[in-house]
Amino acid sequence: MAAPPRPLREPCSAVAAVTRAAIAFREGLPVVIRDPEGTSVAFALETVAPTSLADVKEGVLLLSHARARTLKIRLYTPEVVALPLTVGPSLPQLLAIADPTLDLAEPLKGPFAPLRRALPPGSAAAVRLAKLSGLLPAALVKALDHKPCPEILEVSADDIRAYEEESVETLTLVTRAHVPLEGAERAELVAFRARDGGPEHYAILLNAPSPNRPVLTRLHSECFTGDLLGSLRCDCGPQLRGAIEAMGNAAGGIVLYLAQEGRGIGLINKLRAYRLQDQGFDTLEANERLGFEPDERLYRVAAKMLSLLGYSSVRLLTNNPDKVKALQEAGIQVVERVPQRFAATPHNRNYLEAKLRAGHLP
């Protein structure tokens, strides 16, 4: 008996489906987003080719609420606003609406008339996919009234919404190795990754800390500019090196090195935020002008890493109360918050003051 024909697309997890869709977005390709209310075709605004604008004619430009507030656009619809593409604006005009680094060169925008209801299916998911792709949170979307082309990648809005939770739930310890560090020779590097892809996170175990007592722990979001280049705009490098030194000289500890560059917006968007900071906005305001939340990070992944390593109780090296709360809500006992203090410099004073305004502890 002949085997049944294989489907054109094998079923896959939310992590795998969204990872593939994010690659398509970054390449400027269309993605079909399926939603219980219908189906839409979407492009990431940042990477769409001018020749593809015809594919979303009579569609909408979607912006996050954060970017809409910057542009004084009324928030009639949940999560995102939709600006109709009825006039046929050029791609540079659309980019000027979404990218705040162009505000000085293109200061005149609007008036805007956002849709008040009936957004294309999967609109909020399209903007979320742009964020997960490391792009500006803006998308061009058009509802489809016909069956989509089978050659276009499809993803469900439910998978986009479930991506981060599934990437935590399926996180796996991949490998580990001893890596002697300067000032902490008894160091072990442990790598984690979700079962079907997604970002890679790392744990640095120093002096083989015992799981039988609260372990000194730091949640450290990766910072290419601060950790590697020694940027003076932030205190990330001193915090990382200070944590490793403190743990290397004590009874051990764990640094969880999380793939959350730029408070979760990615390196390229962080550099955009730096340009806005040079115009006088603080780090939180810059993120919001770009269309992001002031802090896009989620810390459940850190709790999962600790659990996989066999630790359930920590002394948390942090000035950020959100990290304490997130670990506790995820089932990790935080028996003590251990502050980290470093002298401000002329280059990072505004950054540190912004963190205090955001609720960080001195």
CATH number of residue 77's parent domain: 3.90.870.10
> Do the domain assignments include residue 142?
yes
Rounded to 5 degrees, φ, ψ at 321 are: -65, -20
Least confident of 88-92, 116-120, 132-136, 291-295: 88-92
Let me know whether 223 and 314 are in one domain: yes
> Do the domain assignments include residue 199?
yes
pLDDT of 32-82, one tens digit each?
999 998 999 999 999 999 999 988 988 999 999 999 999 999 999 999 999
Structural domains counted in the chain? 2
pLDDT on residue 359 = 65
Domain final position from 99, 130, 164: 164
Let me know whether 174 and 159 are in one domain: no
pLDDT on residue 1 = 39
Let me know whether 85 and 223 are in one domain: no
Let me know whether 179 and 227 are in one domain: yes
What CATH code is carried by the domain that includes residue 345? 3.40.50.10990
> Considering 297, 315, 337, 349, which one is annotated as catalytic?
297
Let me know whether 184 and 153 are in one domain: no
Contacts of 155 (CB under 8 A, 6+ apart): 17, 18, 20, 21, 31, 32, 33, 34, 129
pLDDT of 80-125, one tens digit each?
999 999 767 899 999 999 999 998 888 878 889 999 988 999 999 9
pLDDT on residue 10 = 54
Let me know whether 34 and 130 are in one domain: yes
pLDDT on residue 42 = 97
Report how far residue 235's alpha carbon sits from residue 239's, in angstroms, rounded to the nearest whole number: 6
Report how far residue 267's alpha carbon sits from residue 222's, in angstroms, rounded to the nearest whole number: 10
Active site residue 300: no
Q: How confident is the model at residue 355 (pLDDT cuts 50, 70, 90)?
A: confident
Let me know whether 188 and 126 are in one domain: no
Active site residue 295: yes
> Do the domain assignments include residue 277?
no
The domain containing residue 117 runs over which residues? 14-164
pLDDT on residue 7 = 44
pLDDT of 217-257, one tens digit each?
999 999 999 999 999 999 999 999 999 998 988 789 999 99
Other Cβ atoms closer than 10 A to 3: 5
> Considering 35, 99, 227, 295, which one is annotated as catalytic?
295
Contact 28, 52 (CB under 8 A): yes
Torsion on CA atoms 257, 262, 268, 270, rounded to nearest 10: -150
Domain final position from 164, 198, 220: 164
Report how far residue 194's alpha carbon sits from residue 20's, in angstroms, rounded to the nearest whole number: 14
Domain final position from 126, 142, 164: 164
User: Where would I find the beta strands (DSSP E) of the chain?
Assistant: 31-35, 38-44, 60-64, 80-84, 138-143, 153-156, 171-178, 187-194, 197-206, 215-221, 253-258, 313-317, 333-338
